[in-house]
Amino acid sequence: MRRFLSFRDFDWGLLGLVLILSTVSVLEIHSTTAHTRFASFESKQIMFIAAGMAGMFILAKIDYHRLLDWSPWAYVVFIVALIAVKLVGHKALGAKRWIALGPIQFQPSEWVKLVLVLVVARYFANLGGRNLTWREIFKAFALVGIPMVLVLVQPDLGTTLTYAPILVAGLFLGGISLRQAAILIVCGVALLAGVWSSGKVFKSYQKARLTSFINPDNDPRGSGYQIRQSLIAVGDGGIWGRGQSKGSQTQGYFLPIPYTDFIFAAFSEEHGFVGALSVLLLYFFILMRLIQNAQTAADLPGSLIIMGIVAVLTFQIAVNVGMVIGFMPVTGIPLPLMSYGGSSVLFTFLALGVAMNVRMRRFVN
């Protein structure tokens, strides 16, 4: 007999943490854009959050086993969408990443992350958690590798990198051995070195951005400019910060795109070390709550889904914050729930909706 399913089983504590972070995002976007032509962005961010919450509640009610059954079809649809982006996509800032659907700019590459979480979870769950063969590992690489290649040629290196944690989480939880993992790491490093030296995959500006964080002073007005301004902003915040809308780097327009990629630097300048630490603690509690939900999932597919979501969010947080403090290269990866952007916000809320879905069914049999 099925236990009655209701929103009493919804993780309201997790939602509360997410809404606190979303509120911080709206306030910081308002602070960084108040005196610019982007002054309406905080209103748009509120609309994105509202739409994301609606989608989250809808996805939470659809049995995730059904979502897993539909995932292969969704995978095919989004592969076609990625091909369409290359053929008829809207070009901006030197890259084709969007398809114009009337007044809406649709970015398939962001949505592919959620589809890949489901597809990879379905693939490894069907293998039953046993030791993986090389054939099964290569199939998993192909499953994730196809959309990675299609997004890389847009070119969008940042989004391409966010697909890798989904594969890594799937392999780790799916039964890969230490010997197989070691062989893959060695081969991966060798392949990356060959690709880097060939000069045929990475553009010159991508190489410059990937290496500038090591010593940004080598090109302070070029590839190192963003890192240098970010480090100045973070340091300028001190312990308590300069105050809301009082950061010299942010309000003086020295910090590039402070409402998206470098929003954490802007927040750190205005709210200091204490504010930055508070945001990081919020992320920590959100991730720990998700991992707890994965541990209490009713079955292996549910655990794989949530851990795939955790892998993506953890990677994005680590890379974005690392970029801001000069520990990672500038890759254009947004900070989840903080950076401005409809595609990123909607993906995060929908992914959380799927995680809630698994939690709500942990006692259903």
Higher pLDDT, 292 or 1: 292
Enumerate the domain spans of the chain. 7-360
pLDDT band at 20 (very low <50, low <70, confident <90, very high): very high
Give the whole-angstrom CA distance, residue 89 versus residue 110: 15
Higher pLDDT, 334 or 8: 334
Cβ atoms of 320 and 333 within 8 Å: the answer is: yes
Q: DSSP state, 90?
A: E
Quote the pLDDT of residue 211: 66
Kindly state the helix (H) or strand (E) to which residue 95 belongs, with its residue range.
strand 95-101
Cβ atoms of 175 and 130 within 8 Å: the answer is: yes
Query: In this predicted model, what pLDDT tens digit does every residue of 256-272 receive, in sequence order?
Result: 888 888 999 999 999 99
| Mean pLDDT for all residues in the chain | 85
**Distances 64 to 89, 152, 166, 318 between C-alpha atoms, Å:** 31, 30, 17, 28
Quote the pLDDT of residue 128: 77
Give the whole-angstrom CA distance, residue 111 versus residue 103: 19
Query: In this predicted model, what pLDDT tens digit does every residue of 290-348 receive, in sequence order?
Result: 999 999 998 899 999 999 999 999 999 999 999 888 888 887 789 999 999 888 899 99
Whether residue 98 has pLDDT greater than 90: no
β-strands 90-92, 95-101: how paired?
antiparallel
Three-state DSSP at 98 gives strand
Higher pLDDT, 111 or 284: 284
Quote the pLDDT of residue 209: 63
Whether residue 1 has pLDDT greater than 50: no
